Structure 1
Amino acid sequence: MPTSPSLTFLGAAGTVTGSRFLVESDASRVLVDAGLYQGPSALRRRNWAPSGLPVDDLDAVVVSHAHLDHCGYLPRLVREGYRGPILCTPETAELVAIVLRDSAHLQEEDARLANDAGFSKHRPALPLYDLADVESSLRLLSPVEHGQEVEVGADARAVLHPAGHILGSSTVELEVGGARVVLSGDLGRDRHPLLRPPDPPPSAGTIVVESTYGDRRHPDDAGDAMGSAIRRTVARGGSVLIPAFAVDRTELVLLELHRLVRDGRAPRVPVFVDSPMALATLEVYRAAIARGSGQLRPEARELAEAVEDLQVRGVRDAEGSMRLNNPGSPCIIVSASGMATGGRVIHHLAHQLPDRRNCVVLTGYQAVGTRGRQLLDGARQVKIHGRYVPVRAEIVDDPSFSVHADADELVAWVGSAATPPQAVYVVHGEATAAQALADRITDDLDVPAVVPRLGEHVLLG
């Protein structure tokens, strides 16, 4: 007897990262997103566990966008034997190549440092995957445009719709075995400085929606948190370190720095972008602006002006990065990663946090267990490469840079479907945020909304 199409929550259930959702029928199996877990060690250890996925039977993987917690597990999946297509937009394919190569490099470098310094529990420390695994994954990428219907199984089709989160980001519409489900991926904001707002969800029996900011509302007024922090720091002879996601966030930070300097709200000091991945991503954005991508607002052209006006100095080599650990005079350093979980920003934090003249500006969501969250919560010391570093520098939170929809916007997005769904599943959020959003959807829209458990299996209507 045939069974009903179903959905299994293999990641991002009760936590913000590790997005993985298996949609299947008797005839088709499709995985939506293959993301890494980030944050506390208990979550990161899940990256090392066998996926439990039927990789030999998967018809396709669909990737919503290029952030690591949505695409970073792809090389591990390929190492386990997956050889099918990986669907995403052309822009996501460009960015995934940048993100995964950087991820493999960082993991190989972290393993080397751990072995040299002896601070790993494992002998020897190994990377989760290497560059060879990444290149094998990239050969499977199958770019499709927004709005293009693609067969992804014997009885399955997929359509990607603009999500307005980062360049190339998508919500995923899947029809499998006659049932339709829409997965939000990460939803952008109506007021993203560069991207157009997300499309409303297509009519579907089931909607899976993220909840990163499911219990919060973004402030109407961005204020002057970054500008005032720069003014204070430069006046006392310090430098400003801005941990920023290499994809999209660096672009928004540069745009805001340009406006602050142009309007006289921040002094003109050298601006460094110390992240090869961020610099490569910046070129992808500039190319999209040059060709007039329909995902971008007309005012996105200001980004090119910002880079020129600030005379942004890109740092690609390790030696140049090390010189910025002690810059010697006031400057602004934008470096990945945005939650201070890895990358060059870790070395800058180790050198600059002990100095009271300096300032660290946090520019987005900081997941529980990350160094960024520890700094946000007022930690007096943080552990970096096996040693505790005192936190004496000023820590400033600027929430205006978030490109995640807030609670009001998430409820409005679900409510904008032409036909109300039969069920909504709330994922990709901390437990309190996810439950708060589920309660609001149930109360405001009169639609059953549930926070699923990790591994939970539900039928699709």
Structure 2
Amino acid sequence: MSVLTFLGAAGTVTGSKFLLERGRQRVLIDCGMFQGEARWRRRNWDPFPIDPASLDAVVLTHAHLDHCGYLPSLVRQGFRGPVFCTPGTADVAAIVLRDAAHLQMEDAQHARAGGYSRHDPPQPLFDTEDAEQAIRLLQPAVRAELGGTRIRLHRAGHILGSAFAELECDGRTLLVSGDLGRQQHPLLRPPEPPPAVDTILVESTYGDRHHQPLDHAQLGRLISATAARNGVVLMPAFAIDRTAVLLHELAGLMRDGLIPHLPVYVNSPMALAALNVYRAAVTNKSPELRPEIVGGPDPFDPGTLHLVHTVEESMRISDPGRPSIVISASGMATGGRVLYHLARLLPGKRNTVILPGFQVPGTRGRALLDGARSVKIHGRYVPVRAQVVGQPEFSAHADSDELVNWLSAAPAAPETVYVVHGEDHARAVLADRIRDELDWTAVTPKHLERVRL
């Protein structure tokens, strides 16, 4: 008998962790950090529900922080097993984990200097040594076998290397969607259809919403209007995939004459490292990429691209004093160099902040999107006078229709679909659609709930 326990992403959109137990064997599918509201973030500091050393393996669907970012903490607590993932995820996860460790240590240092932490003394959740040890455990493979459990990873089309995981043991099959990409992702091919399985865990980030097509002309007008008033366009962007997508979009807008040829600064060490991975995928004609992306000119350089490497360069462009576009991580403004740009640019009415993607409740990005008049950055409140605009059309998550269509492509109905990785309303709406339209059993599990497979 196999038992599944929901250790994260049940009742919230982050912290994906699903424990599969079969006899004495224990496999963790995804190992993500909780993000957003303090009640969720505090869970990162809770002792892991089981002894991490008792885990036989971890399977990663992809390299976003809310799916892989807890791995160094798991290692710190004693985990030493293999971490199975695709080759692309191994490349990207190494970048993400090193950056996460750096930010953990930097945030603890800021808290010590500013005296605004509740912990005395402030400590990082994990450090660079933990991250490096976690990276050494990564085992790139799209197929693996572990004590009678077969693991297969299928293309998910969300970010480079992303996959949905299929696990088979004792004649029973479990599918964990991870994050599913969109049919019209500008760089990546869409997700593969799901195989016939007994149980599915499906994400629901946009389970209650429908993506509108990106209005390129409207985005062009927004950027052009900011430039006309001598302002700066700041895009807090996820370093992985989103920065590459934005650069591809800006290149198209400039090529089509929809925006002036403005300097474009990418200011995020992680984004620069990830951009190198995406460029290598283009050069190597990765089968994950759309055919039109490979074989042509650099799809990420609008001709005015400036890659910011040093802190000194970063400080110089915090308020460049001329119309320009700055792309900086993190995508929900939770940390990183983008905070310095926000602190400088938010008070200026001539500037525009574009939020290109989902903003988790409790993050600065969500506060800005909801109309906050001030936000707290490094212990101080910063007034918000700049124009703030959300652009959810840039999301790399499948919307409600795409999720239902993907599920419906399965050759046979599963016994149960567990709807995870979404806010409660989004999960409930998607579960209702699965019941009503597919006539399948759909459940919204609770945190720490255990079910038999």
Judging changes above 3 Å, is the alpha-carbon distance between structure 1 residues 311 and 304 closer, same or farther for their aligned structure 2 residues? farther
Deviation at 1:399, TM superposition (A): 1.9
> In structure 1, what is the equivalent of residue 239 of structure 2?
246
TM-score relative to the length of structure 2: 0.98
- Residue 145 of structure 2: which of 151, 161, 186 is its match? 151
The answer to which of 423-432 and 46-55 deviates more is 46-55
- Taking the aligned partners of 1:294 and 1:112, their CA distance within structure 2 comes to 42
Which deviations, in whole Å up to 9, do the C-alpha atoms of 1:391-442 show, x marking residues without a partner?
0000111122111000001011111111110100000000000110000000
Deviation at 1:304, TM superposition (A): 5.0
Structure 2 unaligned regions, length at least 5: none
Matched, 1:320 2:317: no
Deviation at 1:325, TM superposition (A): 1.5
> In structure 1, what is the equivalent of residue 271 of structure 2?
278
> In structure 2, what is the equivalent of residue 111 of structure 1?
108
Give the letter aligned to residue 45 of structure 1. Answer: R
> In structure 1, what is the equivalent of residue 420 of structure 2?
427
> In structure 1, what is the equivalent of residue 30 of structure 2?
33
- Residue 434 of structure 2: which of 430, 436, 441 is its match? 441
Is the contact between residue 214 and residue 394 of structure 2 (CA under 8 Å) also seen in structure 1? no
Deviation at 1:123, TM superposition (A): 1.6
Secondary structure at 2:293 match in 1: helix
Matched, 1:89 2:86: yes
> In structure 1, what is the equivalent of residue 50 of structure 2?
53
Secondary structure at 1:216 match in 2: coil
Matched, 1:130 2:127: yes
- Taking the aligned partners of 2:349 and 2:322, their CA distance within structure 1 comes to 14
Deviation at 1:122, TM superposition (A): 1.4
Give the letter aligned to residue 20 of structure 1. Answer: K
Give the letter aligned to residue 50 of structure 1. Answer: P
> In structure 2, what is the equivalent of residue 68 of structure 1?
65
Deviation at 1:221, TM superposition (A): 5.0
- Residue 163 of structure 1: which of 156, 162, 176 is its match? 156
Give the letter aligned to residue 459 of structure 1. Answer: R
- Residue 370 of structure 2: which of 359, 377, 381 is its match? 377
Deviation at 1:55, TM superposition (A): 1.9
Which consecutive segments of 4 or more residues in structure 1 shift more than 6 A? none
> In structure 2, what is the equivalent of residue 265 of structure 1?
258
Matched, 1:451 2:448: no
TM-score relative to the length of structure 1: 0.96
Secondary structure at 1:301 match in 2: coil
Is the contact between residue 248 and residue 302 of structure 2 (CA under 8 Å) also seen in structure 1? no
Give the letter aligned to residue 5 of structure 2. Answer: T
Identical amino acids, percent of aligned pairs: 57
Is the contact between residue 8 and residue 447 of structure 2 (CA under 8 Å) also seen in structure 1? yes
- Taking the aligned partners of 1:212 and 1:234, their CA distance within structure 2 comes to 33
The answer to which of 266-275 and 23-32 deviates more is 23-32
Matched, 1:348 2:344: no
Is the contact between residue 11 and residue 423 of structure 2 (CA under 8 Å) also seen in structure 1? yes
Is the contact between residue 182 and residue 397 of structure 2 (CA under 8 Å) also seen in structure 1? yes
Is the contact between residue 88 and residue 160 of structure 2 (CA under 8 Å) also seen in structure 1? yes
Deviation at 1:143, TM superposition (A): 0.4
Deviation at 1:306, TM superposition (A): 3.9
Secondary structure at 1:190 match in 2: coil
- Residue 233 of structure 1: which of 226, 245, 263 is its match? 226
> In structure 1, what is the equivalent of residue 195 of structure 2?
202
RMSD: 1.2
Is the contact between residue 252 and residue 302 of structure 2 (CA under 8 Å) also seen in structure 1? no
Structure 1 unaligned regions, length at least 5: none
Give the letter aligned to residue 389 of structure 1. Answer: V
- Taking the aligned partners of 1:18 and 1:446, their CA distance within structure 2 comes to 29
- Residue 20 of structure 1: which of 17, 20, 37 is its match? 17
- Taking the aligned partners of 1:52 and 1:182, their CA distance within structure 2 comes to 23
- Residue 4 of structure 2: which of 1, 4, 7 is its match? 7
- Taking the aligned partners of 1:302 and 1:115, their CA distance within structure 2 comes to 50
